[in-house]
Amino acid sequence: MQAKHFVLSINGKQCSVAVDPGTALLYIIRNDLDLKGTRIGCGEGNCFSCTLLVEGRPQQSCSLTAAAVEGKSIETIEAIRDTELGQALIASFITEQAGQCGYCLAGILASAKALLERQPSPSRNQIVAAIDGHLCRCGAHNRIIRAIEKVAFGRRMAG
Amino acid sequence: MTIASPPSLTENPQCRDWIDLSPNGRVTLKSGKVEIGQGIATALVQIAADELDVDPDRFDLIAGHTSLGPVEAGTSSSLSVETGGQAVRLAAAAVRSLLLDEAAKLLQAPKTELSVDNGRISVGERATDLTYWALAPTVDLSAPVLGHANPKAPNERRLVGTSMARIDLLSKVASAGFIHDLDLPNMRHGRVLDPPARGRRLVILDDTSLNAAFPNVKIVRDGSFVGVLAAREDEAVQCMAALRMCAQWSDAEGGPHSLAEAIAADSSSVEEVFCKGDTASAEGRVVRTEIERPYLAHASIAPSCAIARWREGCLEVHSHTQAGHDLKSALAMAFNIEPAKVTVIHHAGAGTYGHSGQDDVAYEAALLARAVPGEAVRVLWSRFADFALSPLGPGMVVTAEAKVAAGRITAFSIQSVGQAHVFRPGRGGTVNFIAAERLSAPPPKGIASDVPLSRGGGADRNANPLYAIPNVHVSKRVLHDLPYRTSALRALGGYANIFAIETLMDDIAIEIGSDPITLRLSHLQDKRAATVLEEAASMAGWPGVSVEGEGLGVGLCQYKNRSAYCAVVAKVMCGEQIRLTQVWAAVDAGEAINPDGIVNQIEGGIVQSASWTLLERVALTGDAVSTHDWGSYPIMRFSEVPEIEVRILNRAELPPLGVGEAATGATAAAIGNAVRQALGIRIRKLPITRDAVLAASAS
C-alpha cells in the first residue's frame, strides 16, 4: 500500500487523509474519519447500502476512490440526519416504523433526501424509482415508500 | 389462573436471572433472545414494563450475553415471545410481588391496597416516597420466579396490546448501530481467503511476493484456511485481493445435475413421522401434486461479521449470532477449552432470517485472533462467502396426495425430501464451522439430523395438514450424500410443505368443482383457522371479478401447527410479466403484544416469501454455488412489491403465538394458486417466473 494525501470535503469540513489511492471511499469515511453511519454492504456496488451524497447526488461509496471525489462536496448520514429534511425523514421513518433490521435505511435516507431536494413533490412512482436500487431484505418496502411519501406530502402542504 | 412454565425458566429459575433494579432508577432486563429486526427487544420491554408498572424508557436491556444473561435457546422458530416473553412476564410479575411484599411491611398497609406508578408506590390514592429502588436492597431477587409470579389479568395490561414504537430503530437509521461499526481499541482487521466451494483444498499458495507489497499485514495459515490481519481494513482488503491471485485450489468435485437426480441417487431412507388411520385403504379418487423448491440463500444485506479476542486463555466473541449459547459451546469444542472460558456477546446485525454465516465468521475471527493474543480481531465476510459458503436453505421436493369421495377428502399423504434444515454450530457432535473443514487437522464431519416433529419439525414442518381428514400419513427423507451446506432458513420445511398442501387443496377444488375457500372451510374444525381464512377472503372481496390475466389465490397456515394462524389472499396480473399486485392477510397470534410489530413481521414475511416464490433460486454447478452476487441472485425490489393489507384478530385472553414465520408458506401458495386461476397453468417447480410459465404453456 502506498499512502497518498487527499483533501476531501466531507459534511462541510475539509478532511485530510493519507490513504492508498485504491482505497474505497467507504473505508475512508468509516475508518479514517470514524463516520460509521454509512453501511458496509456488498462492496460491489449492487446493494446501495453504502450510499452517500456526492454533490447532492446519491453514489455508492464502495465504488468510489478518494481521487474520484477530491474537490467535491460529500454528505454522509451524519450530516444528513441533522438537516431539516433529514430530520423530517427520520421522524417519518420512526412514525411509520419503516424498517425491521434497519441496515438499508441510512443509504435510503440519502437517496430520499437527494430526491426531495431536486423534486419537492415527487409522485409515488418517482419515489420508487429513486430508491429502487436499494435492496431491503426484511420486506419493509411499503413502509419505507410511505414514510418518504408523507414527508413529500408535508412539504407540498407547507408550500 | 394456572401458569404454564415456559422452558426458559427451567434453566433460569430466579428473579435475578431476568431482572436487576440497578442502577438507581433503572431496570435492567436480561434476555437470551436477541433483536434481529423482528422487534423482540421492544416486545420484551413492553411485557416487563407492564407487569412492573415502570415506564419503558427506564429499561436497559441485556440480550444475548452468555455471561450476563439467562441461558435461553437461540432466537429462532418464532419462539421469542412464546417462551422468552412468557418467562419475562412471569419474572417481572414475581419481582413486583416481592417488592410489594416488602412495601406492605414498611407502609403497614395491605398489599392489595398498594399500586405502582413508574416504580413509585401508592397506598390507595395516596402516593408515597417509597420506590422500587429504595426497596431493592432489602429484597432478595434470588427468589424463584414460579413461587411468586402472579401476572396481571389481560384487562389490567396497558402497554401490551399497544403498538409501541421500536426502542432500537432510531439507532439503526442513522447511527453506528451495528456490529460492523464496533471499534475496539487497537482492533485488527481480518479477511479470510474464500475457497471456490466447500471441500476444495488449497494446492498452491505462492504468497512470497506479498511480504514486500504488504509489509504490515500478517498472514495466518492452517491447512487450506488462510487469513490476513492488518491494522487498516483497506490494507486487509487489498492484501486479500492480491492473495486470491496467488491461490490455486483443487479441482471442482461433481454434484448432481438436479435435485430429482440427487434424490434418486441418495441412500437415505424414508422416516414415517405421523400416521393417523389408514390412507391406503381409504376410498376415493386420487389427486396428486409434486412441488419443488430450489435451494435458497439467506441473502442478508450485510456481510457476516464478528470480533474476537483471546486473553489469558479466555475467548471473547462479539457476534450477531442468533444462538449465542450454541456458538459458545461450539467454540469451546473447536478450541478444546472449557465452555466457561468463552463469552459470546450479541450485537445487532442485518436480518439473516435463519442460520447464515454469522457463526462461521465468529469462529474465523477467533482463529485469526489466536495468532495475536490480547488483540481484538474483526473479520468481515465477502459477498461471495455470504452467498456461496454460508449455509443454504435446502432444496426440497414434496409429494402430496389426497383421496376425494363425495366432496370430502378421505385420505392425505405427504412426503418431504431434502437435506437437513437445521445444522447449527455444535450440533451433530461436530463444531460445524465451515473454516474448520479447511484446517490441516479438521474435526470429524458430523451428520445433520433434521429437527423432530416434536420440536416443530424440519423437512416435515407443517407437513401435517391443518384440515380435518380421517386418514393422514406424513413422512420425510433427509438426504445426507450431497455436498451442499444447509441449515435453518425462515420457516424451514414449512414454506414448501404449505405450498404443496395448499396447491393440492386448490387442485382438489378444481377437480370437484368447489370454491377453494368453501372446500377449505368445509374441512376445518379449528375455528381459529376458519376465522382467519374467512377474514382474508372478505378483505380481498373473494372471489372477486373475473378480469383477463388476473387471478386471486389463497393459502392458509398455522405455523408449526401450533404458532400463529395466517391466511393470505394474493392477486396477480399475468401479462408480459407475472406481477404480484395485492396481498391481503389475516392473522391470529393469540394475544397481540405489539400489533404493529406483528403487522410489520407479516408484511416482511409476505415480501420475502413473494421474493422466494417469484424470483429466487440458488444455482448449483457441481459442488459449487454459482449465484454469488446480487446480479445473479436477484431479490424483490421496491418496484416489484405488492400492496399489502394485514388484519390482526387479537385474542388478548389467549397465549401469544410466534408470527415471524407464519406468512411464508401461505403467501407462496396464494401466489401459485392466483397464477393458476389467472392462466390455467400450474407451476409446481419454484420459482414461478415468466420463463416457467412460458415453458409450462408450451408443453
Q: How far is A102 from chain B (nearest CA, A)?
A: 5
Residues from chain A that touch B601, judged by Cβ atoms under 8 A, are 100
- Convert the pLDDT of each residue in B238-273 to its tens digit: 999 999 999 999 999 888 888 888 888 888 899 999
| Same domain, yes or no: A20 and A63 | yes
Residues from chain B that touch A49, judged by Cβ atoms under 8 A, are 301-302
Q: How far is A158 from chain B (nearest CA, A)?
A: 25
pLDDT of residue B605: 98
Question: Which residue from A24, A49, A132 is facing B638, i.e. has the nearest CB?
Answer: A132
Q: Look at B638 and A23 and tell me if their CB atoms are within 8 Å.
A: no
CATH number of domain containing A49: 3.10.20.30
| Same domain, yes or no: A35 and A59 | yes
Give the nearest chain A residue to B645 (CA atoms): A142
Last residue of some domain: A76, A110, A131? A76
Question: Which residue from B174, B299, B302 is facing A81, i.e. has the nearest CB?
Answer: B174
Q: Look at A141 and B607 and tell me if their CB atoms are within 8 Å.
A: yes
pLDDT of residue B342: 98
What's the mean pLDDT in B25-30? 98
Cβ pair B9, B36 in contact under 8 A: no
Residue B112 CB-density burial (10 A; 0-12 exposed, 13-18 middle, 19+ buried): exposed
Q: How far is B136 from chain A (nearest CA, A)?
A: 35
Domain ranges of chain B: 7-160, 181-250+299-388, 396-421+457-698
| Same domain, yes or no: A34 and A72 | yes
Does the CB of A81 have a partner CB in chain B at under 8 Å? yes
Residues 6+ apart with CB under 8 A from A53: A59, A74, A75, A76, A80, A110, A113, A114
Last residue of some domain: A59, A76, A93? A76
Task: Answer whether residue B2 shows pLDDT above 50.
Answer: no
First-residue to last-residue Cα distance in chain B: 61
| Same domain, yes or no: A94 and A153 | yes
What is the architecture, at CATH level 2, of domain B396-421+457-698?
2-Layer Sandwich (3.30)
Last residue of some domain: A76, A93, A114? A76
Task: Answer whether residue B97 shows pLDDT above 60.
Answer: yes
| Same domain, yes or no: A64 and A131 | no
- Convert the pLDDT of each residue in B427-463 to its tens digit: 878 899 999 999 999 998 888 888 998 899 999 999 9
Residues from chain A that touch B641, judged by Cβ atoms under 8 A, are 139, 141-142
At residue B248, the 3 state secondary structure works out as strand
What's the mean pLDDT in B65-70? 96
Task: Answer whether residue B613 shows pLDDT above 90.
Answer: yes
CA angle (B143, B160, B65) in 5-degree steps? 50
The percent of residues in chain B predicted with pLDDT above 90, rounded, is: 91
Q: Look at B301 and A103 and tell me if their CB atoms are within 8 Å.
A: yes
pLDDT of residue B265: 84
Q: Look at A97 and B637 and tell me if their CB atoms are within 8 Å.
A: no
Task: Please state, rounded to an integer, the average pLDDT across all residues of chain B.
Answer: 96
Number of domains in chain A: 2
A·B CB contacts under 8 A: 178
Give the nearest chain A residue to B297 (CA atoms): A137
What's the mean pLDDT in B64-88? 94
CATH number of domain containing A142: 1.10.150.120
pLDDT of residue B257: 86
Q: Look at B174 and A22 and tell me if their CB atoms are within 8 Å.
A: no
Nearest partner of B599 among B565, B644, B637, judged by Cα: B644
pLDDT of residue B3: 56
Question: Which residue from B39, B232, B301 is facing A49, i.e. has the nearest CB?
Answer: B301
Distance CA B113, CA B101 (A): 11
Where in the sequence is the domain holding A135, given as residue range(s)? Answer: 81-158
User: ipTM greater than 0.90, yes or no?
Assistant: yes
pLDDT of residue B140: 97
Question: Which residue from A20, A37, A40 is facing B175, i.e. has the nearest CB?
Answer: A37
Task: Answer whether residue B132 shows pLDDT above 80.
Answer: yes
Q: Look at A106 and B630 and tell me if their CB atoms are within 8 Å.
A: no
- Convert the pLDDT of each residue in B356-374 to its tens digit: 999 999 999 999 999 999 9
Report the 10 Å Cβ neighbour count for B680: 10
Instruction: Report strand pairing: B565-574 vs B550-558.
Output: antiparallel
| Same domain, yes or no: A94 and A66 | no
- Convert the pLDDT of each residue in A87-144 to its tens digit: 999 999 999 999 999 999 999 999 999 999 999 899 999 999 999 999 999 999 999 9
Residue B601 CB-density burial (10 A; 0-12 exposed, 13-18 middle, 19+ buried): buried
| Same domain, yes or no: A58 and A100 | no
pTM over 0.95: yes
Give the nearest chain B residue to A32 (CA atoms): B232
Question: Which residue from A19, A80, A129 is facing B234, i.e. has the nearest CB?
Answer: A19
Q: Look at A144 and B638 and tell me if their CB atoms are within 8 Å.
A: yes
- Convert the pLDDT of each residue in B178-205 to its tens digit: 999 999 999 999 999 999 999 999 999 9
Task: Tell which A residues from 55 to 74 touch B, by Cβ distance under 8 Å.
Answer: none
Indicate the CATH number for domain B181-250+299-388. 3.30.365.10
Distance CA B648, CA B607 (A): 18
Residues 6+ apart with CB under 8 A from B336: none
pLDDT of residue B182: 97
| Same domain, yes or no: A85 and A152 | yes
pLDDT of residue B1: 42
pLDDT of residue B285: 97
Whether domain B7-160 has CATH 1.10.645.10: the reply is no
Question: Which residue from B180, B603, B644 is facing A40, i.e. has the nearest CB?
Answer: B180
Q: Look at A44 and B178 and tell me if their CB atoms are within 8 Å.
A: no
Q: Look at B639 and A132 and tell me if their CB atoms are within 8 Å.
A: yes
